[in-house]
Amino acid sequence: MLVVDGAVRAAARCWGPVGELAVKNRWAGLVIDGCVRDSAALGKLPLGIKALAAHPRKSVKRDSGQRDLPLRVAGCDILPGQWLYADEDGVIVSGRPLG
């Protein structure tokens, strides 16, 4: 699972090649606090993707990504090691596996 803090900018934080990499690495899904591009291509992948919107504008690559950090997305704290569950209606976060 990859969670991206896109700082809610009107530029895509996820696009086709990132989705393909996620499938290749067998990630369960992507949660993007921001926009995606290439939404038609992303929608064909066997991958769950949640984002705020689709937007055609590219983001600027800065190679400044970090991992295993706490994030706050839509007022919800997401900590490393937590479990995320998603369906068509949204995403929930749990400190332990559910079910």
Phi and psi torsions of 39, nearest 5°: -60, -35
> pLDDT tens-digit profile of 61-87?
776 678 899 998 888 899 999 999 999
pLDDT, one tens digit per residue, over 10-22 is 556 667 788 899 9
pTM: predicted TM-score of the whole model, two decimal places: 0.81
Give the 3-state secondary structure percentages of the chain, helix then strand then coil, rounded to 5. Answer: 15, 40, 45
Arch. (CATH architecture) of 2-56+70-94 = 3-Layer(bba) Sandwich (3.50)
Flag whether 38 is marked binding.
yes
18 in a known ligand binding site:
yes
The annotation status of 17 as a binding-site residue, yes or no, is yes
- Cα–Cα distance list, 42 to 17, 18, 23, 66 (Å): 9, 9, 10, 23
**What does the pLDDT look like over 21-60, one tens digit per residue?**
999 999 989 998 888 888 999 999 999 999 888 888 776 7
Domain positions in the chain: 2-56+70-94
